[in-house]
A and B are shown apart, each in its own frame.
Chain A
Amino acid sequence: MDYNFQFNVIWRNFDTLLDGAWLTFQLGVFAFWGGALLGLVGAALKTYGPGPIRFLVDVYVVFMTNTPALIQVYFLYFGLPEVGIRWSSEACLLIGLTLNAGAYLTMIMRAGFLSVRKSEMEAGEALGMSLVQQIRYIIVPHIAKSIYPALANFFIVILVMGTSVGALIGVDELTGTAINLSTVNYRWLEYFTVIAGMYVVLTFIASIGLALLGRWAFRVKARIF
């Protein structure tokens, strides 16, 4: 292989890459929280809702989890303008990712709902707790503890796999920025090696933060590695 690696030009544009990484992080956080909200509603409807609603939640989950996030985003970006809905590429990505994450998070949170045992609620009642107190002191801590590792893991998945989809509709997150910059000076290998490293660093920071948060807030031992 007679390829000469030249990293100089990458360091000159490193600020631009950092901007991309920052956007990646923001997109990941917003899509995750949007998805978490959707997932909470979805799981609650699936658990306590009437039959037809439960069926609709199932359809949503099964459809979103069996089709590519990329196609969902393409649908919003290339399809919706035909019916007069024009969103920016960032908006399409964020909405698409949120809807996609919502389906996966519905499954994760539903598992959490199911993990609360009736006996624990009864124990709470026996102690004279009100419903609000039961939710506050029994249900929420229990669910948080049982699904926190899955949530933390899923955040990393969105941060990495999810946001990079944006590169294909022109969002200048980390991968998109690298594509833009490399088409100018053709240092593809260098740019992509560097951003691969940046993704690793970014997700490590996120993992450590999540592990600390989990330990502090829910006394969960989440794995960093």
Chain B
Amino acid sequence: MERIWEQLPRFFTAGNMGLLADAALHTLSMTFVGCLAGFVFAFVLVFLRQTPGMWAAPLRMVCILYVEVFRRIPFLVVIYLVLFFIQAVTTDASLFTIAVVAICIYAIAYTAEIVRGGIESVPLTQVEAARAMNFSRLQTLVMVVLPQAMPVIIPPAIAFAVSFIKDTALVSQIGVFELTFRGKELNNKGFSGILVFGTIAMSYFIISFPLSMLGQYLEKRLATPRGERRLRKIWIP
């Protein structure tokens, strides 16, 4: 314990704190970019999965399999697969890019289920009304279904992204300069593990807790019949 007290001044230096702030930014940005891309691709996946017709049966199978398989593989394994696969193809990709791709691939599988649930929550009668007016499948989705599905989709999608911030700690293993990596680095430099990992844990907490509160707040605000109008007001003040 004396060791920790003695290390305190050397640990909480401007340099180290700057390093951690930068690392936190890495953690946040790769989670944000990866989950946002995953969110967009999840819509594509769900749309493909709902393609009607016999000819599209294999396509639908692939979409279902994707979701089922990636939800059953550890994120760490996905990171390694993406790392070595990309490195077998090109040597130009940065580790940050590789991490973002891995996060995206994983996020697609989880958010696709959220998106599907949201879309299925819109009554079929809304779709029928649009189809009877000659809306195409895509037009129906974009103009009628998605605006109504969004209030159902957004809160759990945010909750997923927030909880995924913590899982991105595993990306430290391939050497991205995010929070956990910097923590291990400081620990290797001789700083106390209790001190370092306590601080790192607090850093994650400071990021994760307010965001999860925000997610819960949104869920309460949007879970009403007028959620869609509220959502639009949040987006376009």
Contacts and interface: CB of A to CB of B under 8 A. Distances in A.
A94 interface: no
A72 interface: yes
B61 interface: no
Given A71-B180, A160-B72, 13 more contacts: A62-B209, A66-B166, A66-B212, A70-B172, A71-B169, A74-B197, A75-B193, A75-B194, A80-B194, A81-B193, A164-B74, A175-B74, A175-B76
Given A189-B88, A196-B81, A200-B72, A74 B166 contact: no
Contact of B1 (A3, A83, A195): A83
B222 to A, nearest CB: 20
A66 B194 contact: no
B72 A70 contact: no
B197 A195 contact: no
Contacts of B3: 82
Interface string B41-74: 0000000000000000000000010001100111
23 contacts: A69-B166, A70-B169, A70-B170, A71-B169, A71-B200, A74-B183, A74-B184, A74-B200, A75-B201, A78-B187, A79-B196, A79-B197, A82-B192, A165-B76, A175-B76, A189-B81, A189-B85, A192-B84, A196-B69, A196-B73, A200-B73, A203-B72, A225-B64
A156 B71 CA distance: 9
A175 B74 CA distance: 8
Contacts of A65: 163
A69 B208 CA distance: 13
Number of chain B interface residues as a range: 35 or more
B204 A78 contact: no
A95 B84 CA distance: 32
8 tightest Cβ-Cβ pairs between the two chains A and B? A78-B193, A164-B74, A79-B193, A79-B194, A68-B169, A68-B166, A3-B88, A66-B208
B189 to A, nearest CB: 13
A66 B204 contact: yes
Nearest to A78: B193
Interface string B1-41: 10110000000000000000000000000000000000000
A71 B204 CA distance: 9
B224 interface: no
B204 A167 contact: no
Interface residues of A, number: 43
Interface of A: 1, 3, 62-63, 65-72, 74-75, 77-83, 156, 160-161, 163-165, 167-168, 175, 178-179, 188-189, 192-193, 195-196, 199-200, 203-204, 225
Contacts of A82: 3-4, 192-194
B89 interface: yes
The majority secondary structure among interface residues of chain B is helix
A202 to B, nearest CB: 8
A168 B201 contact: no
A74 to B, nearest CB: 5
A161 B167 contact: yes
B142 interface: no
Contacts of B194: 75, 79-80, 82-83
B166 A199 contact: no
B80 interface: yes
Contacts of B89: 1
B75 A78 contact: no
B77 interface: yes
